[in-house]
Structure 1
Amino acid sequence: MRTPHLLASACAASSPADRYHHAELAVWEELTQSVAEHPRLWASPEEGAMVLAEEIDELWDEIRGNRVGLARSEAVQVGAMALRFIADLYEPAHGQDRYRAAAAAQHDAVSAVGPRGRSVASSHEAFGFLKLEFDALWSAIRFDEPARPVAARVAAMAVRFIAETASAPARLEAVAR
Structure 2
Amino acid sequence: MKRILVVLSGLLLSGGVLAENKGLYSDTKVLRGTVISVGRVDPTENIGTGNYFDINYSSVAVNFGAATKKFGDTPIRPSTISLSPADGERVNNVYAGIGFSRIFQFQLGYGNHGDVLRLRSDFNFRAVSDFLARKSTPKDRLLLADRLTFSISVERYNDDDEEIFDNATWGVGLLF
Structure number with larger C-alpha Rg:
2
Query: Normalized per residue, which structure has more strand?
Result: 2
> Do these two structures clear the TM 0.5 threshold for a shared fold by scoring above it?
no
Please give the range of the TM-score, normalised by the shorter of the 2 chains.
Answer: under 0.3
Q: TM-score, normalised by structure 1?
A: 0.26
User: Highest relative contact order (Cα 8 Å, sep 6+), 1 or 2?
Assistant: 1
